[in-house]
Amino acid sequence: MSEPLRILSVGAHPADIFDQSGGTMAHHADQGDYVGCVVLTHGARVHDAVISDDMHHRSEVPAAAELQALITERSDIKAEEARKACKLLGVEDLYFFGADDAVLIVTDEAVRRLARLLRQVRPDVILTHFPKEGDGLTNAHAIAGQIVMHAISLAGGVDPGDRNPPHKVAQVFFFGAGAAAIPRQVWQSEGGYYNAVFIDITDVVDKKLAALDCLISQGYGGAYARKRIETSDGAFGGAGGVAYAEGFIPLNAETHDYLPVTERALASARASDHELIAERSYRIPVD
Ligand SMILES: [Zn+2]
């Protein structure tokens, strides 16, 4: 056994880390790896049952101070949901940066703060959004990915005031959904990015479902969590030849001593079509 990995998943909004990497995080936590999370924005402005939904149907929204207080209150509720979800997946630490999700941009402050956290937590592997997702400009996920890339670069050196030594990350896996999902915007016509790594999450899909069920403020609890897992993780699973999977786009090419062929690839090549279809056909039981 090699030493435990240190993995950090960084998302723009509270639900992203669970949506895109919940099963992968549960897997690694189960095998004794360190798993931590960072959520860059509070997410209350665009993804909240009260702020983004109720306000939509009012004739007038509350005055500034009252609205701000409401956003703070809802942010706390969302953070609590995310903490609960992390516990179910075995995630040890959850760091909230609390940025307003009004306009997320790459700032010196956000990059430095994350770089300091990287020197402190010292992850080997980072999971985060693809920095060219969508238009790569107004897309909060893309900006989050860009903040992470700047922070990785900065963390590789010293910063006055931070006593932690420089830290380098071994690999970054970008969330496949969004960058390599079904294209639905003109921005997605370029690129040609594809999911090069699938993580089979079938054995922990119930944990991921329980985690998504915690995200009630975002409308995930219940029917949507199930629909989302069937359509998204189920589609990734179909592409990866398993029941449920999460897809990733690795940043760096890998160097091996010998040609890398997985046990799965060998087993799959030796299985019949019906055996392969049977493996993909598992569904979360409906209770
Ligand atoms: Zn998001």
Ligand 1 centroid distance, CA of 194 (Å): 20
- The predicted-structure confidence for 34-58, as pLDDT tens digits, reads as follows 999 999 999 888 778 888 788 888 8
pLDDT of residue 230: 93
Ligand 1 centroid distance, CA of 52 (Å): 14
Distance CA 81, CA 30 (A): 21
Ligand 1 centroid distance, CA of 117 (Å): 21
CA nearest to 179, candidates 267, 255, 76, 249: 249
Helix locations, 34-168, DSSP H: 64-89, 108-121, 140-155
pLDDT of residue 23: 98
Ligand 1 centroid distance, CA of 33 (Å): 25
Structure tokens at 58: 């009012």
Ligand 1 centroid distance, CA of 74 (Å): 16
User: Percent of the chain, pLDDT > 70?
Assistant: 96
Give the pLDDT mean for 65-79.
93
Among the ranges given (89-93, 124-128, 188-192), the one the predictor scored with the smallest mean pLDDT: 188-192
List the domain range (segments joined by +) for residue 38. Answer: 6-280
- Assess if residue 286 is contained within a domain: no
Ligand 1 centroid distance, CA of 209 (Å): 17
Residue 1 has pLDDT above 60, yes or no: no
pLDDT of residue 178: 67
Model confidence at 157, in pLDDT bands (50, 70, 90)? very high
33 vs 58, which has greater pLDDT?
A: 33
Partners of 247 in beta bridges? 198
Structure tokens at 219: 């409308």
Ligand 1 centroid distance, CA of 220 (Å): 13
Is residue 115 exposed (0-12), middle (13-18) or buried (19+ Cβ within 10 Å)? buried
Residue 21 has pLDDT above 90, yes or no: yes
Structure tokens at 86: 């992390």
CA dihedral 147, 150, 154, 155 (to 10 degrees): 60
Distance CA 21, CA 25 (A): 6
Ligand 1 centroid distance, CA of 49 (Å): 15
Instruction: Report the number of distinct structural domains present in the chain.
Output: 1
What DSSP designation does 164 have?
S
Give the pLDDT mean for 230-244.
92
pLDDT of residue 182: 66
- Assess if residue 287 is contained within a domain: no
pTM, whole model, 2 decimals?
0.94
Structure tokens at 235: 């589609």
Ligand 1 centroid distance, CA of 2 (Å): 33
Angle, CA 2 vertex, CA 87 and CA 209 arms, to 5°: 25
pLDDT of residue 38: 98
Distance CA 42, CA 76 (A): 8
- Assess if residue 272 is contained within a domain: yes
CA nearest to 178, candidates 213, 139, 148: 139
pLDDT of residue 194: 86
The DSSP secondary structure of 65-98, one letter per residue, reads: HHHHHHHHHHHHHHHHHHHHHHHHHT--EEEEEE
Structure tokens at 12: 């723009």
- Assess if residue 15 is contained within a domain: yes
CATH number (domain holding residue 186): 3.40.50.10320
Ligand 1 centroid distance, CA of 101 (Å): 10
Cβ partners under 8 Å of residue 271, min gap 6: 279
Model confidence at 221, in pLDDT bands (50, 70, 90)? confident
Mean pLDDT over the full length of the chain: 92
CA 96 to chain CA centroid, Å, is: 14
Ligand 1 centroid distance, CA of 183 (Å): 17
- Assess if residue 241 is contained within a domain: yes
Distance CA 50, CA 57 (A): 11
Model confidence at 228, in pLDDT bands (50, 70, 90)? very high
